[in-house]
Structure 1
Amino acid sequence: MKKTGRQIVTFDWAIKTILRDKANFDVLEGFLTALFGRAVVILDMLESESNRQDDRDKYNRVDLLAKTEDGERIIVEVQYLSEMAYLKRLTYGTAKTMVETLKLGEPYANLKKVYSISLLYFDVTEDGDDYIYHGKTEFTGLHTHHPVTLKKSLVGEPVRIGETNIFPEYYLIPLKRFTDVVRDDLDQWVYAFKNNEVLDEFTAPGIGALKEKFDYLRMDERERRRFDKHIDYVRSEWGMIEDARQDGLEVGLARGREEGLEEGLAKGREEERRILVKSLYDNGIAIETIATSVGLSEPAIRRLLDDMSDL
């Protein structure tokens, strides 16, 4: 017998709309409390440069920056497509956020911890056996390999959530790896994010707010049309990018076979990237989105397109 539930809007749409309202902070608080294993109270939502309102904005990535009652920052990001140097971008984002917590002339003691949480619609590992991965900075003896607990005086003000150290922490959650087997409160949230559905049996703290406030059927007609249009854009863009990647991969492999292994693979990868860029551009994908997908800057994309137009 199929379990009954309620359809909800996608989390990226909620970040752009619903979660900007202070009255809806309880939804995010419920998820973070389940993830961190202790109560989290959101004081404010801060502006994020990738959070835009226009329906024509890129859909590959959207994120939200929350401030807790302790002044710590939590970046919650939804990422649909993998991109080159993705982890480097995550590192840059957390470092930039940490720096922005300090005003000019403030002591380092005022620096606040940052947590980065990524809800991902692609796999992130070669040999992973889980659907949530947690990374943080730890120190071990160079010779003994034993972990060491640093003096609390080196940290300064207590770190509230993880209670470890001031360094950023990362949570990567590849939703497709979740098997839909629900064992605890956190699994209920992951199930909802993956399937855009809250089952009637779910009882995790805060998930009732998710069910009510993300309810697709309660949206007015105008808002529902905007959401449906958003989903159409997402699916269309996903499809074009994946098709272009596959075409580029096939041509690149053929070039590699023709020219010898090492040199051929290098040229094959370059050919794959050129075909991918050209295909995406010809299909109307914005240069900004193309740059994110292939790991190049926007000027580099434009130069590549100019070079190809001269051929």
Structure 2
Amino acid sequence: MQKNSYIRFDWAIKRLLRDKANFSVLEGLLTVLFNDKTKIVEILESEGNQQRDDDKFNRVDIKAKNSKGEIIIVEVQNTRELYYLERILYGTAKAITEHISLGDTYQEVKKVYSISILYFDLGKGNDYLYHGQNRFIGVHTNDELLITAKEEGAIIQKLPQEVFPEYYLIRVNEFNQVAKTPLEEWVKYLKTGIIDPDTTAPGLPEAREKLRYYDMSPEERHEYDEHVNAIMIQNDVLNTAKLEGHAEGRAEGRAEGRAEGRAEGRAEGRAEGRAEGRAEGRMEEKLEVAKNLKQLGISTDAIAQATGLSLEEIEHL
């Protein structure tokens, strides 16, 4: 580690940024993302806030309430997950229901922002930042619906996106630009851990002061290094498993297919033998790789993504 190195954001968000004295770092990221000065009032409890021994490198999130009473979920995901979109949908739905009491009117439903900082490839796209929200557009007229309601004698007009959750997906690995804007400086830090000494981007000067690697105690540095190593090992295991599974499965399949084809002595038999041999070879290899990953404590979703096996097949190993 070099003197100017800074703690990874996923570690900071798990250990340091929950402290009110450090809110300014996270407020800076939210300010540049929303293009609006954001003030955090408190950190809220959620399942993702819990620090568990088996959560070594994935599913790091923080749930906060801003000065407008809106709820903001910030999540860091280091490795692939099969049902990631479903999970962030569930997270926003749960946040809404957690913060409305039985008997409250629907007027009390809070706006939720979901921010995902992704260190893996989620589909295809050319941008490093994607934003999605609910809008109702006329099928034939292409105009946007403006909701009108009567409230305490006044006519209230609002757009659906003022109520529905908004989703931000930051694809960290896709950022390959020279950082010129505050948002780009933030994504550069998320990707490389580097913060320019003369930065004025909201939150980053505070991050330079609060997230220095060498300001941690030796025990904290050791724990942090283990965390970084765990991420690297898991990514190596998943990538190696995919490559080895493909190569060995193809090799075994070809060998078995040739043997069965020769035994039958017919063109049709050779074709069927090769096909069946390849399929069996690939399946055996996938099962073996999945079994090894399971023994290493890799999540079922990550194993399914790496091997192509179903969750049920993995659970029965």
Find 2:112's aligned residue among 111, 114, 122.
114
What is the rounded CA distance, in whole Å, between the counterparts of 1:5 and 1:119 in structure 2? 26
Q: For 1:55-108, what per-residue CA distance to the aligned partner results, in whole angstroms no more than 9, with x for missing partners?
A: 553312211111112211111111011111211111111111111111111111
Match of 1:308 in 2: none
Residue in structure 1 matching 2:219, options 212, 217, 222: 222
Corresponding position: 1:281 with 2:317: no
Q: CA deviation at 1:274?
A: 3.0
Assess if the C-alpha contact under 8 Å between 1:30 and 1:206 holds in 2.
yes
Aligned to 2:171: 174
Partner of 1:20: 18
1:148 aligns with 2:144: yes
Range with bigger deviation, 238-247 or 115-124:
238-247
Compute the displacement of 1:255 (Å): 8.4
Counterpart amino acid of residue 278 in structure 1? K
In structure 2, stretches of 5+ residues that fail to align are 258-271
RMSD of the TM alignment (CA)?
3.5
SS of equivalent residue, structure 2 residue 12:
helix
Structure 1 residues 21, 148: CA separation in 2 closer, same or farther (over 3 Å shift)?
A: same
> CA 1:240 to 1:212, structure 2 compared with 1: closer, same or farther past 3 Å?
same
Alpha-carbon distance, 1:197 to partner: 1.4
Contact between 1:113 and 1:168, CA under 8 Å: does it hold in 2?
yes
Aligned letter for 1:143? H
Q: How high is the TM-score relative to the length of structure 2?
A: 0.80
- Equivalent pairs counted in the alignment come to 295
- Where does residue 90 of structure 1 map in the other structure? 88
List aligned pairs for 1:180-191, cutoff 5 A: 180-191=177-188
In the TM superposition, what whole-angstrom CA distance separates every residue of 1:166-199 from its partner, at most 9, and x where no partner exists? 1111111111110141121111111111111101
Q: Does 1:247 align with 2:247?
A: no
Contact 2:147–2:157, Cα closer than 8 Å, also in 1: no
109-118 vs 223-232, greater mean Cα deviation:
223-232
- One-letter identity of the residue aligned with 1:294: A
Q: Which residue of 1 is the match for residue 266 of structure 2?
A: none
Residue 52 of structure 1: how far off its partner (Å): 3.8
Whole-Å separation in 1 of the counterparts to 2:15 and 2:314 = 32
Verify the 8 A CA contact 2:304 2:314 in the aligned structure 1: no
Measure, in 1, the Cα distance between the counterparts of 2:277 and 2:33. 45
Structure 1 position 154, deviation (Å): 8.6
Structure 1: distance between partners of 2:277 and 2:64: 47
1:149 CA drift (Å) = 3.6
Alpha-carbon separation, structure 1, partners of 2:242 and 2:156: 47
Query: In 2, are the aligned partners of 1:43 and 1:66 still within 8 Å (CA)?
Result: yes
In the alignment, which residue of structure 1 is the partner of 2:6? 8
Q: Which has the higher contact order (CA 8 A, sep 6+)?
A: 1
Counterpart amino acid of residue 151 in structure 1: I
- Rate the CA distance shift 1:293–1:303 in 2: closer, same or farther, 3 A: closer
SS of the aligned residue for 1:50 comes to helix
